[in-house]
Structure 1
């Protein structure tokens, strides 16, 4: 579903992808999808500065080059996605599994969080 949403800029294609997903998704995933699309997501469990620091470490870029890229791209999430190395493997999880893991991060220290990534 995510790929179908990403590759099209047509509203009807996006609606069709969401409807198709909702027809086959487990109930807890449907609830999370609705919550996320309506802005009712949980508070961010990892600070932006920590995510940026991890991205710099994983990419191997010097900070000045990262900042230069960020100023050109204009969006931190997009900049990070562009500088990170290609993933070595693919993880299959449901929306509710991802959300459960994110919520569990609240109780962890920054050091514990970094060890997970």
Structure 2
């Protein structure tokens, strides 16, 4: 069965994200499901962003409520883009894909500690050889 164009694009994002995480040494196989969701959101965001540009980057539109008052409101497409941005940022934080979350993620990893000094090393450290 041939892959759809959508699936090909999503797999490209999955592969790129996995490669980036491996280079940063933060990839774990347990992240595959989250990486897939992240990739789907990125793909959807790209599609909607292109649609936003194609329709003239309209951020607000006039809206008449039930009472007959006309107000401006954000367009549904723009609100969807805002929500996708927030969701993508949230997953980037989980995956360590921005500087702040990367630092927190790598800082929380248990770092190797120095082995306890041997008896002779303790004696030498505490002696005054001046």
TM-score (norm: length of structure 1)? 0.25
Greater RCO, 1 or 2 (C-alpha within 8 Å, sep 6+)? 1
State the structure with more CA Rg.
2
Give the structure-2-normalised TM-score.
Answer: 0.24
Bigger share in helix: 1
More strand per residue: 1 or 2?
2
